[in-house]
Each structure stands twice: as structure tokens, then as C-alpha cells.
Structure 1
């Protein structure tokens, strides 16, 4: 994935001006507040978007790298309000490093994959290239049901998009700069043929992130010039020849301090309207989805609707039927009733399933003996809600053992946490920073304790407040409570790293690991994610 940022230094020198080669309709007139939506439609880290509609529901797949389960699926009925539905990849079954066993899968795993629905067998397909070596395809008859591995292809469909054609043939567009199209077998388990269909001109540079569509008899490959442009290829045959037009370049985005919207997908509504769901680089929080309407010219090319020469902060809401129900909020409280975790949660690498249980609380037994949080198994993560939000956890410490470490972290390649250390039969509340990794994701710092205070009793409330607005100098602050009401700050504010190289944004993370011997446990009784 690091290939995706070779152009970053070029972007920093570009003026933030709109250089759209395609003429856009005039800026829209003001509409009543109750008929509009505001970008970002969801301020959480969901990148490399593939979006589809099945009936009256919309589904959205995103990258998760080393987090497990992988490839989350979001659901919406209006393209604006989204909820978690499930994951396409139940477990990262791609080698021991994804178990934190003899290696690490940081910044590998699930990225820029394809997601689609095949009407003929009412089946959903997800596929992605892992470790730049093999492409894995998973299927399910329901997005929120059980997904299973369908096929493994011994080639890399790099940054791929899937089209199910009118005759039910499945095609995959993929590649970086040199773009190709593959035809799959009828059962989707093998490749019938593959052919190069386009070579990106040198004056454009890199094109990747393919999404594959068919409209009015024409085939389209929607591709990204990372991270500041979007182009589209058009042909009368899936194997070309293709012609190209620019959709946007250096278009100012709707998030102050964020980047240019790019690398997403097109989707058509029940009423025939089209929308583009893209993401904006918005570190330290990650890559955040934004939505805009699209129109088409008489000769079949898309035009993005801009507002005052930029991707609009506000647009009219899509004209859609009333939703059958309200979607589940992305914030709120989880008391872990069981029997499993809700799809909002993802582990740092694959968990040891023998070391946790969910029933009126999440019991986390220590799964690793280490002094390195990045090497500890069974660290549970949750995306941060932007632009600022607060996570509060309630922990029962009764079963902790000497040498155990538990707490709430701001997790990324530069991390900090508030937690509890048990030593000599006593507990201390600590704030620790200086947990770091290098560019190869090897640990370079296991943390420095900067503040501590004794803890009497076996119940603790830990809190992290995070400001993830794009830019440098954003901070997280930690506090604790012994009664769940009165909170006391601990340690110094932690400055978040807003570099892009880790790709994923910061997450709230709950951990419990041993430094001496296994056998201890804590119970996460409650998790609250709130916004101001």
C-alpha cells in the first residue's frame, strides 16, 4: 500500500484550487434545512469505498488492513445515515502473522477490495488481494449473516472492482497504472481470461482503485489518481478499447483541513439519480466518507455537482422512499449482552477466541505475555467518532494478576493509554505514552509511565477524549473515576500523529495483557461512545 503515497509530496505543493476538466452544473440554490444533508455523511474511518444498492437498501464496504473481522459492511436507506451490518471476512485466514504469531500484519490484510451483489443467485461477493500475492473471494446470501471463503486465486487483483453484467457474467477490473479486466467463471471460482485494457498516460501519472460499472450499454472503469484526482474510462466492450475523461482534480473538499475527495464508488438510486461516495484524507482520524450528486451528459460522461467550485458541504438529500426503520446509531452504549460482539468492534489482528467471552460483559483473559502493546493479542478496537468524541469504559479488575496491564488506549503507530497496572498485589492507575512503531511497523517504544495514582477497589472507569479534526497538534486527554460520576484528569495531553503512512486512523482500544504469566482477566462491563 505504500505505493499509494509516492505522490504525496507533489500534492503538498499544489494550490487548493479546483481544476476540474469537466464542466459542472451551476452551484445549487439554497434549500430548506430539513431537506439537506451535511458532509461528511459519517465522520469515521471507512476508506476505499465500494457502494451498491440492492432493492431499497444501500451497502458500503471498506478497508480494515490488520483489523479482524475484516471488510466491514455498512447499511443505509438514504445514503446519508449508516449503520453497521457485518463483515465480509470473518477472520484474517492469511497466515500466522495475522494472529500476531511469529510476525505482524500491520498495514497489510484488507485494502481496496471489491463488493457486489449477484441477482441470479441472490449472493453477495467480496474479493481482495492480500499480501500482493493472492486474491480471496468470500460470499454470503445475507450481508449480516455468515460469510465463507469462496475461492482463492493465485494472482493479485490489485485495487479491484467487480461488475456483474446483464448476462450474469462477472468481471473484475484491477491494476495500478496498467489496468486490466478479468472474466471469472460462472461459479466465480476461477479466471476465464484476463487482458490489459488501458495504460495510464504519463501526464496523468498513477491510476488505481478501480470500480466497474455498466450504464446504457457502455462499460465504465472509475479510477483514482491518488490522492487528488478521479478519472473514468468508457468503452462499448468490457475489454475495451477505453477512452478517458477527468472527473475531478485538486477539487477542494468539504472537511476543513482535509484532502481532496477521491477513491470511492458510484451508485444509482431507485429513482434513477446517481451519487458519488468518496473519502477524504482526514488524519489523525483516518479517511472519511463524503457524498455528492452526479449527472450524465448526453454522450454518457459523468459530471460531479459542485457548490461554489468545490465539493459541497451541504446538498439536497437524495429523493428516496421513507426508510423502513431508523438505522442504529454509530455512537452510544454497549453492555456486551452476548453471545457475540456487535459488528462495531474489530480486534487488532485475529483474536485468541479461547481468551474472551461475551455474556453480560466482555471477559478478557490475558492472551499474551509481553511488555509490548503492539504484540499483545485480544486488543479490541472501536473507530473514533469525529470531529471529537469521548470513550468511557467500565472495568471489573477483580481477576487481575500481578504483572497484568489493562486499560483504554489511543491506538495507532504512535500510542498512549490510561490503564491499570497490578504489581505486588496492588493496583495503580497509570497514564503511559511513548508507544511507537517505525515505518516497517516494528516496535520502537513500549511506553513511558508519565503519571500514576493508587487505586483501592476493583472497579474503575477510564475515559479518553479525542480531537480528530484534520491537522497537526490534535490531542487526546485521559481521565478516570472510581464512582462513574466524578472524573479526574491523569497525565499530560497526548498529541496525535497525523501522518498518513499507517493508513488507518486512530482508534479507541481496550486491552488486557500479561507481563509475567497468563491466568488473569478483567471484565469490560460497559463502553460508552459519546459526542459533545
Structure 2
């Protein structure tokens, strides 16, 4: 089923918070995700405990699978490129960004900021699966309510290539690799359908409505599709405060019966929303977990983990702590990891000649205007006074609950009219950086960059503070408190030696309107207002927490 973006927004406005959905498949023993027996007892004891959220960064519409001893999760990225990040973990608690399933958003000129913009479109809820028969990962998602795309890779790091374009837009797709290797997709909003794909995944063989949500429940979407102990399950979210599950004993096309999994459940983040819209996964020892996300604006939608048990008649039950999704739980009992995952925070000196996978561009970049060679060079790619139109703005998710980004930037190659710096980027933005005009470079803090709810720019920003710029290079810093609720404050500062920082400008209040969906990001930018040709070089980026 497809619906208009306006209708989608109208439905979402009925709930506090937000959550686009994603489809899912479940790896069980080894690399299979079609067969298995639910663990009926308590979760096995493990040494220590973990704290939610397991990742305090913006990874929403989660699909989670296990392949052997490794867990993978996919998430929405909207207009950011590359899209559909794949996270990797060995224990469901510690995660790293391993790659992206969609290398470029080649779905129209608007994703290149070419005459139009793709804000809040692009990669919505989608599905990540693994097919043991050919040892291949599959990503499936619809774009712009128009059609669906299937990408494959033999390793999550890539290369990912487009396998198929399917004319049916599988809204909030959940891809199932059945035990006989057949491919099925559960999808839809309120009306839930199941499609069967051809054995090669390149076309649709059949599609059929399997469930219509009762009006007493409202909207259901965000399908995840599983086969567990011979039963078919479609895991669905009620945005943004509920989770339901459908079960069929008669095959993937139903009929299905429905049961509520959670509704208005208190979450683990003070001031945050109800955990919902994620996926189920079974550990090697047979324990089950639910990896959901929590609305936690202005930071976005962040992953939280809880153990699952099963009733005798085969329905999942979230294990609560004092009637709520726990802030802490026992650590999952899994084999020792083969290595430590790459931290989500720390220093990046842009070593080597490629960007690390934790970086994503605001829309597709102009690849002729940037390079990495033991340092990041950003050449101006757009002549504009509007940062929201500027190509080659490189973004990094903010770490919660509070974090600081520090950038070392060489501005010697800037040209008159150029603007470069470090932004807090969302539909309401601010930045610290450099303006070069009439041969003089100044440090400035600019705020008041805004978009309306149709994602048109309403203000390009106002300079509210300034200072002389040191020659050569400068350290720029942004600190952000993304805990839900007041004061949602951010500040900017600079340094000439990397040690002593001077505050520049007033505090900036981070916006928390859920309709933009994505959380704030730290963003590196360099654009022209007069003519192309200038450049800046970033030799160090550090993301730190108190």
C-alpha cells in the first residue's frame, strides 16, 4: 500500500513522537532465520549488565538479524548519503557502523540538491536479510511511494549493488527468507499485505492483503516478517506508542490473528518516548531480544534492547522492570567477541583515502569536490547563501546524552565569499565557522537557519557574534545536550592552540519537532556565495562525551 506524504504526516501527527518503520528478517541458529524454537524460559544469566539506550545515536526503524555469531542492524537515513547504514555487534550491546546498503541515492535529481531537495524523503523504514543459500545479504526498501529497490552484498562492508527494481512500493517492508529459500515481503500501512518474490528476487510473483487493522487499534505499519517454530509472524508498530504482532499457522499468506505486545510502555530515557518499531532476534543460546528505538528528540530515535520470553501458545512478551522497559538488564549470554567493535566516539584524523562508514553526506555529494588523503579536503561545490542548499556537507550523528565535537580546520585556501565551519544541522540550525570577504577572514557564530514543515528554507541565518580569525588553522567546537526536554542547549567555541577555547555567541536551543524525523548532526561544510574554487582542509575530528 502506498499513501501520500501528507496523509502519512497527518497520521503521525496523532501521536507524540515519530517512527518510520522498517522490514525485517530473523537469523536463528547459524545463518538461518526461518526456523527455530522460541526460548520459553528466562533469559540465561550473564556476567554484568547493560544500560539502555545501547546506542545513544540516531538509528531508527531498526531491523536486526544474526548471522552465525554476528549481529547486524539496519536503520533509516532519509536524505543522507550513503543510505541505510549497517551496524555490527557481537553481543547486541556494543555496536559499530560497518557499511551502507545504499551507496548513493540515485533516485532523482532532488537527492543531488539539483533544482529540488530530498529532505525527509529517501531511505525510510526498510529491511535487512541474509540468505544462507547464496551467502548473501539483502536490503529492500521503497523510495518516494513509487517503487522498491533490492540491493545485495556478500559482506556488509560492500560493495552493495542494485539487484532489482520492483514496481510495487513495499511501504515499510519486512523481508523473510523462508526455510525453503523462498522470499516473502510483508508491507503496508493499516492494510498489511504479503508479496512473494521470484527465486532470484528480481520480480514479484504474487501479492495479497493478509490483514486489515481494526479501527480500535488505528494505524499499524513497520512490518518485520519471521518464521518461528513453523509459525509466521508479522511484527508491527503503532506509531509512536505501541507494538503488535500477527501470527499465522497456515502459511505466509495467513489468515493472521493479532495480539498486542506493548502500548504506552514507559521507556528507559527520561522524557523520551515509548520503545517501539524494531525487530526480534535470537541469540546463539536460544534467548530472544527485542531491539527497538525510543523517540528522544532533539537527538533523534535511539536503539534500546530488552529480553523477550514466549507464552506457551507462541506469543512474545517483553520482560519489564518495575512495569517499564528497563534502563538496565543482564548482559546477553553470548560467546566472547572475536574483537572489540570500533567505538562510536573518538578521534578521526581522516587517515587513508576513504571516509569511515560513520560519516554520511547531506544529500549526495559532488565527488569531484572532496577528497580524503590523510585529511579531508572540502572544495566549494555550491554557490548559495543557504546552507540547506549547499552540497558536500558532511555529517556525523551526535552522541547522547551530551557530547562535544571538535574540528581542526585549515582555512588558508578559502576565497572571498566562502563560508566554512561546523554546524548543528537539522530543520533549525546554527554554526560556528569562517566568513571570508574582501580578503579578510573572520570567525562567526550564526544561528536562526530554519525550514518549514515542507522543508523549504524560511531563514538562512543571522550572524550573532564574530571575532578575528587566526591565520592558517583554527579549532572549532560545538557542544550539544540532546536529552529530551529543556533546556536542549548547544554552545560554540573556538581555539587557536587546541587547548584553550573561547565561547562565541549565545546558547542555541535545539529544536525537537519530530516531523523532521532525523536527529541533529554535527556537520562539516564549505560553500561559496560568490564563485567556486575555494577549499578547506579538516585534519582532525573528535567526538567526545563528559
Tell me the TM-score normalized by structure 2: 0.93
1:515 paired with 2:529, answer yes
Inter-CA distance 27–491: structure 2 relative to 1 (3 Å threshold): farther
1:351 paired with 2:365, answer yes
1:298 paired with 2:317, answer no
Unaligned runs of 5+ in 2: 18-39
Determine the C-alpha separation between the residues in 2 that align with 1:28 and 1:159: 30
1:326 paired with 2:346, answer no
Q: Report Cα offsets for 1:150-170 as digits up to 9, x if no partner.
A: 100112100010110000000
Determine the C-alpha separation between the residues in 1 that align with 2:280 and 2:491: 39
Alignment partner for residue 500 of structure 1, among 476, 495, 514?
514
Shift of 1:7: 5.2
Determine the C-alpha separation between the residues in 2 that align with 1:418 and 1:476: 11
Determine the C-alpha separation between the residues in 2 that align with 1:12 and 1:182: 31
Q: Which residue of 1 aligns with 2:431?
A: 417
1:153 paired with 2:132, answer no
Q: Which residue of 1 aligns with 2:488?
A: 474
1:26–1:307 Cα contact (<8 Å) kept: no
Tell me the TM-score normalized by structure 1: 0.95
Alignment partner for residue 186 of structure 1, among 185, 192, 199?
199
2:43–2:307 Cα contact (<8 Å) kept: no
Unaligned runs of 5+ in 1: 14-24
Determine the C-alpha separation between the residues in 1 that align with 2:426 and 2:172: 24
Q: Which residue of 1 aligns with 2:127?
A: 114
1:376 paired with 2:394, answer no
1:450 aligns to what SS in structure 2? strand
Determine the C-alpha separation between the residues in 1 that align with 2:41 and 2:255: 33
Q: Report Cα offsets for 1:376-403 as digits up to 9, x if no partner.
A: 0000000000000000000011111000
Moved over 6 A (4+): 25-29
Q: Report Cα offsets for 1:349-408 as digits up to 9, x if no partner.
A: 000000001001000000000000000000000000000000000001111100000000
Q: Report Cα offsets for 1:331-352 as digits up to 9, x if no partner.
A: 0001111211000100000000
1:282 paired with 2:296, answer yes
Q: Which residue of 2 aligns with 1:17?
A: none
Which deviates more, 470-479 or 198-207? 470-479
Determine the C-alpha separation between the residues in 2 that align with 1:46 and 1:353: 26
Determine the C-alpha separation between the residues in 2 that align with 1:98 and 1:472: 34
1:97 aligns to what SS in structure 2? helix
RMSD: 1.7
Between the two proteins, the alignment pairs up a number of residues equal to: 519
Alignment partner for residue 48 of structure 1, among 36, 43, 61?
61
2:388 aligns to what SS in structure 1? helix
Determine the C-alpha separation between the residues in 1 that align with 2:495 and 2:220: 51
1:197 paired with 2:210, answer yes
Report matched runs for 1:81-120 at 5 Å: 81-120=94-133
Q: Which residue of 2 aligns with 1:176?
A: 189
Q: Which residue of 2 aligns with 1:487?
A: 501
Shift of 1:35: 1.2
Determine the C-alpha separation between the residues in 2 that align with 1:380 and 1:480: 20
1:50–1:62 Cα contact (<8 Å) kept: yes
Determine the C-alpha separation between the residues in 2 that align with 1:193 and 1:155: 11
Shift of 1:454: 1.0
Determine the C-alpha separation between the residues in 1 that align with 2:6 and 2:523: 25
1:37 paired with 2:50, answer yes
2:368 aligns to what SS in structure 1? helix
Q: Which residue of 1 aligns with 2:22?
A: none
Inter-CA distance 326–419: structure 2 relative to 1 (3 Å threshold): same
2:188 aligns to what SS in structure 1? strand
Q: Report Cα offsets for 1:414-465 as digits up to 9, x if no partner.
A: 0000010001111100000011111111111011000001113110000000
Determine the C-alpha separation between the residues in 2 that align with 1:28 and 1:154: 43
Determine the C-alpha separation between the residues in 1 that align with 2:127 and 2:255: 23
1:176 aligns to what SS in structure 2? coil
2:118 aligns to what SS in structure 1? coil
Shift of 1:27: 11
2:173–2:223 Cα contact (<8 Å) kept: yes
Shift of 1:145: 1.9
Q: Which residue of 2 aligns with 1:167?
A: 180
Determine the C-alpha separation between the residues in 1 that align with 2:353 and 2:195: 41
1:98 aligns to what SS in structure 2? helix
Determine the C-alpha separation between the residues in 1 that align with 2:56 and 2:314: 32
Q: Report Cα offsets for 1:272-330 as digits up to 9, x if no partner.
A: 11100000000000001000000111111111101111101111111111111111100
Report matched runs for 1:440-479 at 5 Å: 440-479=454-493
Q: Report Cα offsets for 1:156-196 as digits up to 9, x if no partner.
A: 10001011000000000000000000000000000000000
1:26–1:306 Cα contact (<8 Å) kept: no
Determine the C-alpha separation between the residues in 1 that align with 2:41 and 2:265: 15
Q: Which residue of 1 aligns with 2:92?
A: 79
Shift of 1:5: 5.2
Q: Report Cα offsets for 1:14-43 as digits up to 9, x if no partner.
A: xxxxxxxxxxx99999x99x5111100010
2:381–2:390 Cα contact (<8 Å) kept: yes
1:66 paired with 2:98, answer no
1:135–1:154 Cα contact (<8 Å) kept: yes
1:164–1:171 Cα contact (<8 Å) kept: yes
Q: Which residue of 1 aligns with 2:30?
A: none
2:15–2:239 Cα contact (<8 Å) kept: no
